[in-house]
Amino acid sequence: MKAIQLLLKKAKPDTLPAMHHFLTSMQLPVSDLPADLSGFTLAFDGDELVGTAGMELMGRIGLLRSVAVAETHRNRQLGRELFAAALDHAREHGVREVFLITNTAAEYFEKNGFQRVERSETPLEIAGTAQFSGLCPASAVVMRRVIA
């Protein structure tokens, strides 16, 4: 059995092709990824990208996105580590509220302090994103968490 050696790294523009491939395989949107990828943390097992999480900053509001872990690496707390790195990035930049949009992971995020919000109650900064306005279906759940 191969030993797993996980390494978390900040995403950089040269990691974009690997991110595109990974996120597409996880059925997550890639067309609106920021060019500089600041706020994104990646998990590698050797040279293989096995997890991602990102935080887009909009003043004091953040959009958590692209939280994904390869099926081969699930149930090892990797998602939690990536998620924590994204929240740390938000805190470092003065973000007080974090939102996310999900089709499949609402229960996971509820267990991690997020609460569902009505789409009509979503701040303009989030409502104006490509994820909210078209990339994610109208049936997707919008969630919010206050961070300190």
Q: Could you read off the pLDDT of 34-65 as tens digits, one per residue?
A: 888 989 999 999 999 999 999 999 999 999 99
The second-level CATH assignment, the architecture, of 6-146 is: 3-Layer(aba) Sandwich (3.40)
What are 15-29's pLDDT values in tens digits? 999 999 999 999 998
Kind and range of the H or E element at 108? helix 106-111
Q: What does the block give as tokens for 39?
A: 């706020």
User: In the chain, where are the structural domains located?
Assistant: 6-146
- E strands, 36-133, are 40-45, 48-58, 61-69, 97-102, 115-117
Q: Which residues contact 140 (CB under 8 A, 6 or more apart)?
A: 101, 102, 103
Query: What amino acid is encoded at 91 in this protein?
Result: R
0.85 exceeded by the pTM? yes
